[in-house]
Amino acid sequence: MGEDRSVRHEVRSIEASRVVEAPAAQVFSFLSDPVNHVAFDTSGMVRGSTTGATIAGVDDVFVMNMHNAIKSNHQVENHIVVYEPDRAIGWAPAEPGHTPAGHTWTWRLAPAAPDRTVVSLTYDWSRFSHIEMLDHLPVINCAQLLASLDRLAEAL
């Protein structure tokens, strides 16, 4: 397991990768269903999806129930900004009714064998526009990003 994982940390982004023992189509299908997002959350903030629909393309929005020390219980709209079936999916969180704040979560999938996929997860806050909240970013660290990938692998 350890030999199939890596981390890269830029100034305002973190990327982690690992090999998952599942085909890219299966990984993409799992990530496209917001109900599954609790399974790979390592921030402790994701409580569940309010949306029953599977993500179908760019500009879709799914809503998650969240909890953290700053806002307590709240909801976040996640705007789909990347959607390439079986290759990549990404979203930009926003306060309900507002434009995204400028941070994104992007999952990239690269088939490594028929039943193996290199999954890369990037958390990027380089365009975050809420200056008053910037000190609270990143919301997760490198170890948590890797743990998210591990949880995804376990869930599949």
Task: Give the model confidence (pLDDT) of 83-92 as tens digits.
Answer: 999 999 999 9
pLDDT cut 70: percent of the chain above it: 84
- For the chain, the structural domain boundaries read 2-155
Tokens of 130: 């809420």
Using only C-alpha atoms, what is the Rg of the chain?
A: 15
Task: Give the model confidence (pLDDT) of 100-132 as tens digits.
Answer: 888 899 999 999 999 999 999 998 877 766 555
CATH topology of domain 2-155: Alpha-D-Glucose-1,6-Bisphosphate; Chain A, domain 4 (3.30.530)
Q: Is 69 exposed, middle or buried (0-12, 13-18, 19+ CB in 10 A)?
A: exposed
Q: What is the pTM of this model?
A: 0.84
- Which residues, given as ranges, of the chain have pLDDT below 70? 1-3, 6-10, 69-70, 128-140
Terminal-to-terminal C-alpha distance of the chain = 15
